[in-house]
A = this chain, B = another copy of it.
């Protein structure tokens, strides 16, 4: 198969002129291959416009041609269904599944032709029917060859022309020749055909446009879970305990103060979870003495979701910063300050100053800002258009070196924040350790492990393994399903 070449005809502003112009492109239809379309919805219309713009002659079949004609550009021929499907070899079926049976009257005219099923079930329909729309169509028209295609392309993309992200058109069919014909059509329209095999795959193809950010589900749930846990923990320690033991009502801290503390914990733990799987993978490689083995599935998935976990961490860190900056805007802050001033005046009047506290907060804040600044660089370089312009070494420098720096900075941020309280008995409310000591666990493991991997004995062995060296007797396993895992871990 030749690579897909394609001239991006995009920008709606320009491309919709194609069919009205008097130029060569628009005039091609007279000798152009003929394509039929059944249906007159948005998709049918966009399809017709794109086909005309790509040099095809289009005939649309409608039950009420007179009424429908006005909806299509004048270069498109609109006629009765039976007449429309008589001459073209390829007929697009752009009607809803529930109307498929109504097309059965055309069985005779359609015999031997290629039917292209472009339909997209709703989520509900997809769950309800075990048979894909394309297979259902095939069962209704046994004398036709059904090809599933174009369902991932929206009517808008068809009109506006293919763009970066959505130019791939998965195709499947049981007949190879039909698949090739439709592939050529797809290419001529500026998209890239991708062979998905036989019609059994249609169900999978139809599920594609139903995907809702699949890569984000686990990281989002993880962040949510951590948030709930830490929020409850902070609530018990910082609100419930003072209330029960000292009778102090600090419930007003729930919306800002506790959320803020919780967000910092979530961001910090998530960041360490970005680097933990790499450490585990390296440890596994060192232990087995080879890189030619499959990681366990959970580790594999974890490695693949690091980008999303990292962005989640950045989002929480940014919210934490916003909440922190809101602290002095609170009314409670103002009251506290005023009451403290009054108390100070009444009690002892010597200037108030605790050098240690002052230094602790200055360093704490500075580390926090620097950690957020570093994280924001990571976030920016994970934008597709920037990531694509970096070579492997640059990408790995930013994601691995700068990312690790951010982890170290936030560890210092956390340590200066809570160091003093970790060793006071009064901090262990209900015998629960301060939140910050809990959050330090995973990050410290990661930092220690990476410290270990820098030792010459381990780093040399690891480098050798990553160049393909294997320990005598190391057991290899085929990696077919994901060859890149080994590579992906190489920037541990």
Contacting pair B5 A366 (CB below 8 A)? no
Let me know if A149 is at the binding interface, CB within 8 A: no
Let me know if A346 is at the binding interface, CB within 8 A: yes
Secondary structure at chain A's binding surface: helix, strand, loop or mixed? helix
Q: A5-B167, A211-B391 are in contact. Are A329 and B484 (CB under 8 A)?
A: no
Closest B-chain residue to A353, C-beta based? Answer: B335
Return 24 A-B CB contacts under 8 Å, by A number.
A1-B24, A2-B10, A2-B161, A3-B165, A4-B165, A5-B164, A12-B484, A23-B196, A42-B483, A71-B476, A96-B467, A159-B483, A159-B484, A163-B388, A325-B325, A328-B328, A329-B361, A337-B338, A338-B352, A339-B353, A341-B342, A342-B344, A345-B345, A383-B383
Contacting pair B3 A12 (CB below 8 A)? no
Let me know if A237 is at the binding interface, CB within 8 A: no
Stretch from A252-260, A264-272, A429-437 forming part of the interface with B: A252-260
Looking at the assembled complex, report how far the CB atom of A224 sits from the nearest CB atom of chain B, in whole angstroms. 14
Let me know if A332 is at the binding interface, CB within 8 A: yes
Contacting pair B319 A4 (CB below 8 A)? no
The 3 A-B pairs at the shortest CB distance, nearest first, are namely: A3-B7, A165-B388, A1-B55
List of B residues within 8 angstroms of A156 by Cβ: 392, 484, 487-488
Chain multiplicity (copies): 3
Q: Give per-residue flags for A159-172: 1 if the beta carbon is below 8 A from chain B beta carbons, else 0.
A: 11111111110101
Looking at the assembled complex, report how far the CB atom of A357 sits from the nearest CB atom of chain B, in whole angstroms. 5
Stretch from A186-194, A295-303, A440-448 forming part of the interface with B: A186-194
* Interface bracket on A: 35 or more
Contacting pair B21 A197 (CB below 8 A)? yes
> Which A residues between 3 and 46 are near B, CB-CB below 8 angstroms?
3-18, 20-28, 41-42, 45-46
Contacting pair B188 A3 (CB below 8 A)? yes
Looking at the assembled complex, report how far the CB atom of A271 sits from the nearest CB atom of chain B, in whole angstroms. 18
* A341–B341 alpha-carbon span in the complex (Å): 6
Contacting pair B211 A7 (CB below 8 A)? no
List of B residues within 8 angstroms of A190 by Cβ: 3-5
Contacting pair A3 B362 (CB below 8 A)? no
Contacting pair A335 B352 (CB below 8 A)? yes
> Which A residues between 450 and 492 are near B, CB-CB below 8 angstroms?
467-468, 476-481, 483-484, 486-488
* A164–B388 alpha-carbon span in the complex (Å): 6
Q: A256-B366, A349-B342, A351-B342 are in contact. Are A330 and B394 (CB under 8 A)?
A: no
* A73–B362 alpha-carbon span in the complex (Å): 58
List of B residues within 8 angstroms of A72 by Cβ: 480
Contacting pair A21 B363 (CB below 8 A)? no
